[in-house]
Amino acid sequence: MRPPLRVHICVLAATVALLACSADPDVAKQEYLESGDRYIAQGKLNEAIIEYRNAIQRDPRFGEARYKLGEALWTLGDRVAAYRELMRAADLLPRDATAQVRAGQMNLEAGQFEDARSRADKAIETDPKNIAAYIVRGNALAGLKQFDAAVTEVEKAITLDPNRSLSFAALGGMRLLKGDKTNAEASFKRAIEVDPKLMQPRIALANFYWLNGQRDAAELALEDALTINPRDIAINRSLAFLYVSSGRGADAESHLKVLAAEKDTPALLALADYYVAGKRESDAVRILDQLSADPKTAALGKTRKSTLLFAQGHKEDAYRLIDEVLQKSGADTAALMTKAQFLTTDKKYDDALKLAQKAAAAEPGSLLAHFALGRIQTARGQRDEAIAEYNEALKLNPRFPIAQIELANLYLSADRSDDALRLAQEALAAEPTNADAMLAQVRALLLKGNAALAKQPLTNLAAKYPRSSTVQTQLGILHTLEKDRTSARSAFERALVIDPVNVGALTGLITSDLAEKNGKAARARVESALTHEPNNVPLLLVAARTYATVGDRALAERSLKRAINVAPTNFQAYDLLGRLYASEGRLGEAILEFDEIVRQQPNSVPSHTMIGILLEAQNKRDEARKRYEQVMAIDPHAPVAANNLAWIYAETGGNLDLALQLAQTAKAELPETPEVDDTLGWVYYKKGLPTQAVASFRASAERDPKNATYLTHLGLAYAKNADFDRAKETLDQALKKDPSAHAADEARKVLSGLRD
C-alpha cells in the first residue's frame, strides 16, 4: 500500500483560501496579525478572531495580537473572553499606555477599582499626557469613594485638552457622586457645548435629570438629542427605557422598533414584552419567532416564547418548546431556570430544585440561579436552605432589593428581627417607595415590639393596600401590642376573609379565642384553614399546638406526623412531637408505633429519626446512636440524624473526627439552624479547637439569644480561647437565665476559676 499523502498547509480561516505561511514563527505571527487586521477592515470579526488566535499560537506572548483579539471579542459581545485577553495583553505590554488604559476600563466595568487605578498609573507613567488614563484614574478613585481626588484627576484631563467633551461629562459624573448637583449639571451642559453632535454627554445629562426626579427634563434632553441623530441607537434605547419605566409603552414602541431594525436583541425582547402587556400576543410571537430563527438568539427566543405560552395556559406546548432548547443546549442557564419556574408553578418542587441546582452548577456566579433556588426552597418549606441561597445571591450583588426583601421575610419567620430590619432598611435605601420592603420593615419593628415606629408606615400601607391579607395581619399585631383587642380581632378577621390560610392572622385569632377560653372556636378556625391546604406545614404546626391546648392530643399527634411526612427535615415538627410524647409518658408506645412504620417502610428516614429522638428522651443513647447510624446508611445527607449523632459522639467520647463530619453535613443541609451550629461548636470544643467553637456558638446564640445552653457553651469556648472577660460576662448571663442548662456545672467551675 502507498504511504499516506502528507500535505503541510497553513489554515488561515474556517472557510477561506489557503495562503502560504512562513516557517519562521516571528514572520508567521506577523502575517497572521496583518491578515486579521484586513478582516477587521472588512467587518469580518469571526475570521479576524481566528487569525489573531493563530498568531497567538505561534507566540503566546504576542501582546499586540492579544490586544486586538480582545477588542474583536468585545465587539462581538463575548465580554468574558475579551476581558481575559485584554488583561493578558496589558500584562505583556507594560509600557503600552493604550493597552493599560483599555485594561483599566475593563477593571472599571468589573468594579475592580484598585486594579483600574494601578493600570491608569502605569499609562500615565509611560505617557503623562494621556487624557484617557486620567479619566480612568478619576473613575477608579470615585469607585474607591475618594471623590475630591477623582475630580482632580478629571480636571487634569480637561487641562490637557479643554475641548474634549467626554472629559466634561466625566467631571459631571464625579461632581454628582460628591453630591454637587449644581456644578454636575453645569459640567454636563458644558460637555454638550464643546461637541453638540456627541450623544454620550446628552445621555449623561438626561440620566442626571432622571436620577434627580426631573423626568420631564430628562425626556426633553433626549428628544433634543434625537433631532440631531434620529437613528442613534443609544438615544433611542434611553428614550425607550424612560417611556417603559414610566408606563408609557405606546410612546416607547417607535424607539424600540428603531432598535429592533438594528437587530438589537434587548430591544426586540422589550418590544415583545410591550406587545404582551398590550395583549398583542400575535405581534409578540412574531418578534420571538424572529429571534428563534436566528441561530445566535434561537435559545433565547424559544425560551421567551415558552414563557408566553405557559402564561397563556398552553402548558404542554410550553414544556415541549423549552425541552427542545434544553435538548440542544442542556446547560443553558436561562432555559433551565425557565423550566424550573414552570415546575415550581405546577408545585413540582423537587424537579424544579434539580434543574435550578444544575443551572447554578453550570454558572456558579449566576445571581438569578441562586435567587430562584431561594424561592424554590422557600416553596418547599426549607427555610434554612432558602436563607443560604438568598445570601449567596446577595454576595454576588449586595444591592438586590428583591432578594433582600425575601431574605428579610425568612429571617422574620425565624424570629431574627434585627437581621430582617437591617435588610428591609437596605432595600428601602435603594427603593424608598417599595411596598414590600416597607412591609418587611413594619413586621420587623412589630416583632421587636416597637409599635410606635411601625404605626405610621403601616397606616400608609393599609390605606394603599386595603385588600392585602398581610397588611391586615400586621394591623392586628399592632392593635394587639396597643392592647386594643377589638380592633386586633377585626383586622385578623379581615385578613382571613382575604386569605383563609394566613397563618399569622389565624394564630392571632386562635390566641384570642384561647385567652377567652373558647377552645371550640379556636379548633373550628384551624380545621377550616386545613380544608384549603391540608399539607401546609406552618398551618399543621399551628393546628398541632391548638389541638394540644384544647386537649385533643391525638389530633395534635396526627398533625405533627403529617408535617414530618411533608417536610422530613423540619426540626420544629420533630421537637413538638417528641415533647408531646414525653408529656404523655408515651415514649415506649410511640417507639413501637414508629417501628411498625419502619417494618412496612424500611428506608423511612423520618421514622428512624423519630425513633432515635424518642430513645434519647428515654436516656437510651446507645440505642439512639444505632438508629441514627441506620439513618445515615440510608441517607448520608439526612441533617437531623447527622446532627443528633454528632452530638452523641461528642458527648460519649466517640470518634470526634466522624462527629465533625456529621456536624458539617448537618450544617451544609441546615445552614441557618441554631441547634446545628451549637452541635458543630460542641464538637469543635471537644476537639480542642476553641476559635472555631466560638464562631459556631456565637452563630447559634445570635439566632436564639434566649437559649441559655447556647450562651453557656459560648462562655466555655471563650474561656478555652483565653478570652476571659467575655467568658465571665457570657457565663454569668447564661447561669442567670438557666442554672440547669447543659454544661452548667462545668460553667460554674470555670467561672469560679476565673474569679480566683
For residue 715, give the nearest of 663, 753, 662, 687 by alpha carbon: 753
* The three cell numbers locating residue 564: 414530618
| Residue that the C-alpha cell 417611556 belongs to | 243
| pLDDT surpassing 50 at residue 15 | no
Alpha-carbon gap, residue 472 to 469, rounded angstroms: 5
8 A C-beta contact, residue 63 and residue 89: yes
pLDDT of residue 675: 93
pLDDT of residue 110: 76
Share of the chain above pLDDT 70, in %: 95
Average pLDDT for residues 350-359, to the nearest whole number? 89
| pLDDT surpassing 90 at residue 317 | yes
Phi, psi of 443 (to 5 degrees): -60, -40
Fold of 568-671: 1.25.40
8 A C-beta contact, residue 598 and residue 608: yes
Alpha-carbon gap, residue 646 to 651, rounded angstroms: 9
Domain boundaries, the chain: 568-671, 678-756
For residue 394, give the nearest of 385, 406, 384, 410 by alpha carbon: 406
Average pLDDT for residues 719-723, to the nearest whole number? 91
The count of residues in the chain is 756
Alpha-carbon gap, residue 537 to 543, rounded angstroms: 10
8 A C-beta contact, residue 201 and residue 195: yes
Alpha-carbon gap, residue 717 to 735, rounded angstroms: 15
Average pLDDT for residues 658-668, to the nearest whole number? 92
Q: For residue 507, give the amino acid letter.
A: T
| pLDDT surpassing 50 at residue 4 | no
Determine the number of helices (DSSP H) and then strands (DSSP E) in the chain: 43, 0
3-class DSSP state for residue 21? coil
Q: What is the DSSP letter of 5?
A: P
CATH number of 678-756: 1.25.40.10
Question: What tens digit of pLDDT does each residue of 686-702 get?
Answer: 999 999 999 999 989 98
Alpha-carbon gap, residue 139 to 151, rounded angstroms: 9
Indicate yes or no: pTM above 0.85. no
- For 169, 196, 404, the CA distances from 146, given in Å and listed in that order, are 18, 31, 28
* The three cell numbers locating residue 307: 414563557
Phi, psi of 681 (to 5 degrees): -65, -40
- Across all residues in the chain, what is the average pLDDT? 86
Question: What tens digit of pLDDT does each residue of 384-433 get?
Answer: 888 989 998 898 888 888 999 999 999 998 788 889 999 999 999 888 88
14 band by pLDDT with thresholds 50, 70 and 90: very low
**Residue 393 burial by CB count (10 A; 0-12/13-18/19+): exposed, middle or buried?**
buried
Share of the chain above pLDDT 90, in %: 44
> Does the fold of domain 678-756 match that of domain 568-671?
yes
Q: What is the DSSP string of 53-106?
A: HHHHHH-TT-HHHHHHHHHHHHHHT-HHHHHHHHHHHHHH-TT-HHHHHHHHHH
pLDDT of residue 586: 84
Alpha-carbon gap, residue 203 to 234, rounded angstroms: 8
Alpha-carbon gap, residue 408 to 423, rounded angstroms: 6
